[in-house]
Amino acid sequence: MKLKLFLSIITICQFSGCGVYEAQVNDSIEDRNQGIENRVTSLENKIDALKQELNQLDTKNNQLEMMIQSQARDKSKQKLKSNNSENAKDSFESSFELLRKGDYVSAEIALREYIKDFPMGSYTDDAKYWLAESLFSQDKYSEALDIFNEIIIEYPGSEKMMESILKSGFSYQEMGDLSSAEAIFMRVIRDYPNSSASSLAEERLKKIQR
């Protein structure tokens, strides 16, 4: 009886020891799995951080490329503008030279071409004024008047404003519209006193009023 009891106790102890050992093994496995999971999570976080850095680098690279392209376009525009400005100046001067020589027909053609090629050029208002002068010199008074009036309306700050107003009066006078010419000459005298244009307007006005 005592022997059986002893064997039972031994057996119970053996099974109990196995249970404890198994629990320890399971705990160790869980700890190891948890450690692996933690490392995986850490690696994933690092990968996400690297992705963000790469995205930021891509964004910066794109911005840099856009800035470089924009600067290149600006330089190209500046160069083109400079070339256009030089071409416009040369074209205007050659057209004016024809007018100065008295070749009004060729000057008219050249000035019209300039205005078509450089509609927003620095010399466009001057070109229109001299075009009107070339037309006036060919007795094309109505066409000249249209362009003088165009300058008055479209280029209020032009240096040719005073002359354009005066020459519009000349055009009216040559066309026989003396009342309009008189009104223009009186405007010049009023708006530009003590000027060469005012003196010419007074002379013309006296002739009309005789």
Q: Is residue 155 part of a domain?
A: yes
- According to the model, what pLDDT value does residue 158 have? 94
Smallest Cα–Cα separation from 187: which of 166, 163, 209?
A: 166
Tokens of 164: 């354009």
Band of pLDDT at residue 20, cut at 50, 70 and 90: low
Distance CA 174, CA 15 (A): 133
Q: Is residue 126 part of a domain?
A: yes
Q: Is residue 131 part of a domain?
A: yes
Given a cut of 50, is residue 75 above it in pLDDT?
Answer: no
> In angstroms, how far is CA 93 from the centroid of its own chain?
29
Given a cut of 90, is residue 38 above it in pLDDT?
Answer: no
Band of pLDDT at residue 114, cut at 50, 70 and 90: very high
Residue with tokens 């256009």, as numbered in its chain? 84
Q: Is residue 36 part of a domain?
A: no
Residues 185, 204: contact at Cβ < 8 Å? Answer: yes
Q: Which comes out higher in pLDDT, residue 45 or 194?
A: 194
- According to the model, what pLDDT value does residue 94 have? 95
Q: Which comes out higher in pLDDT, residue 176 or 24?
A: 176
Q: Is residue 17 part of a domain?
A: no
Band of pLDDT at residue 36, cut at 50, 70 and 90: confident
Q: Is residue 16 part of a domain?
A: no
Angle value at C-alpha 96, between 94 and 97, nearest 5 degrees: 65
Tokens of 176: 């026989």
Amino acid making up residue 142? S
Distance CA 92, CA 76 (A): 24
Residues 88, 121: contact at Cβ < 8 Å? Answer: yes
Given a cut of 70, is residue 60 above it in pLDDT?
Answer: yes
The mean pLDDT of 40-64, rounded to a whole number, is 76
Given a cut of 60, is residue 27 above it in pLDDT?
Answer: yes
Q: Which comes out higher in pLDDT, residue 56 or 157?
A: 157
Q: Is residue 69 part of a domain?
A: no
pLDDT in tens, 117-164: 999 988 999 999 999 999 999 999 999 999 999 999 999 999 999 999
Percent of the chain at pLDDT > 90 equals 55
| Burial class for 109, CB neighbours closer than 10 Å (0-12, 13-18, 19+) | middle
Distances (CA, A) of 121 to 53, 127, 153, 161, 168: 49, 10, 17, 17, 23
Q: Is residue 12 part of a domain?
A: no
Tokens of 83: 């070339």
What domain range includes position 97?
92-209
Band of pLDDT at residue 78, cut at 50, 70 and 90: very low
- Count of structural domains, the chain: 1
The helix (H) or strand (E) run that includes residue 192 is none
- According to the model, what pLDDT value does residue 81 have? 44
Q: Which comes out higher in pLDDT, residue 70 or 102?
A: 102
CATH number at 133 reads 1.25.40.10
Smallest Cα–Cα separation from 115: which of 135, 137, 139?
A: 135
Tokens of 96: 């004016």
- According to the model, what pLDDT value does residue 82 have? 40
